Structure 1
Amino acid sequence: MKSEINDELPSGPVDESGDGRSIESFLGKVVKEHRTNQGLTIADLAEQSGLSRSMVSKIENGQVSTSLDSIVSIARALGISISAMFKNFEHREGNAQHVKSGKGMEVVRRGTTKGHTYHLLAYDQGPVKLFEPFLITMDDEAEVFPTFEHPGTEFIYMLQGKMEYRHGNRSYLLQPGDALTFRGSVAHGPERLIKLPIRFITVIMYGQSPDLDT
């Protein structure tokens, strides 16, 4: 008969990482991930570690505070080190917003017409809009552009083409690799398209604008 290590410790307050995960829950996910990646069943891991099936199941579900002896036994059975099991515990849970190439939401801004498209590259999910990043494409040299005014600061980075861009009473020649940052509250917009097609990234950052040279 298999002897089981006594590894179920008294329950109590759990250790928390910076993002609120319990160490029991984290360990369980790591064990299950390594077990399934190796094509092992709970029964296989139980046999190789010297623990019971029910104990392995409880560990994977974060239902017990596991002793160090049991953690060592599981790590050896999985062929990994103790440090490898806990290396990501202090890392915060990822929650990035990933927009695939060509999948940005196409939006219409005031005054834009055929030959001038805006693709929104991220979508604010909170109650306050913090920023708006756009990929803008222009391919109609006959288009007449309106001027824009809005709160916050705008940043432009040129990817392709060449154009003159007006901000207030000054005009700037923008080519690939050029960047322009300015107050959104001052009238601005494309003034002359020199080389088509034109593509650039613009990010509108809402909030207080820094003192920029206009």
Structure 2
Amino acid sequence: MAENMKKTSPAGGDSEIKPLGKHLGNVIKDIRQQHGLTIAEVAERANISRGMLSKIENGLVSTSLDTLEQLANSLGVTISRLFQGYNQPTGGAQLVKKGQGMEVVRRGTRNGHTYHLLAYDQGPKKLFEPFLITLEDPGEEFPSFEHSGTEFLYMLEGELGYRVGEEVYMLEPGDALTFRGEIPHRPEYHAKLPIRFLAIIHYDTEEPIDHD
């Protein structure tokens, strides 16, 4: 995977710990103990230090999705198992409050280009991913992206020229654009900054590949 969760660890340790980090740490620790494994054993399998694993289990640091995948492999579970049950009340709904979406970094991402993941899959299959995307760098250039499934864009703020295949579509607030993910696509040019839009990817398969 070419994506990371942005670090949010407090400098002095007195700031509020993110709920997702605490959840992941508790799940990793519980699974490790259920398997009768020590911190040293899991850390060695996952190729991280014992101190880092201890901090992860105690919710003191965030870590990359690559590291979470290594930890899941070392524990003999899927990465989705680590997120299972997060923020899911008895009603079966998942609430992500304003500003609390997990910030991730993807291939081609630079300064002024952020993704906030607005929901986290909790089952064995990744069915969809909703992102709030912000573009603020007028000079940023983007590679073309291709992925499985269908993508839906909804413009919230600004104006953006978005290329899908050979066509470039001008998107303004309130506009929606839907296309097949395997068609090469990318933001083509910024017409009016700042730009914010929703990007929702619905997957047809269990294993999506890198996308924008």
**TM-score bin, normalised by smaller chain:** 0.5 to 0.7
Q: Trace 1:102-121 onto structure 2 (pairs within 5 A).
A: 102-121=99-118
Determine if the alignment matches structure 1 residue 175 to structure 2 residue 172.
Answer: yes
Structure with the larger RCO, 1 or 2 (CA within 8 Å, 6+ apart)? 2
Coordinate RMSD, CA, aligned: 0.9
- Larger Rg computed on CA atoms: 1
CA distance in 2, matches of 1:136, 1:125: 22
Q: Trace 1:1-214 onto structure 2 (pairs within 5 A).
A: 94-207=91-204
Q: Which residue of 2 aligns with 1:77?
A: none
TM-score (norm 1): 0.53
Structure 1 segments, 4+ long, off by >2 Å, are: none
Question: Match of 1:101, as an amino acid?
Answer: K
Counting matched residue pairs gives 116
Question: Match of 2:121, as an amino acid?
Answer: D
Report % sequence identity: 66
Structure 2 residues not aligned, in runs of 5+: 1-89, 206-212
CA distance in 2, matches of 1:173, 1:206: 25
Q: Deviation at 1:169?
A: 0.6
What are the Cα deviations for residues 153-205 of structure 1, in whole angstroms up to 9, with x where unaligned?
Answer: 00000000001000001100000000000000010010000100000001000
Q: Deviation at 1:146?
A: 1.2
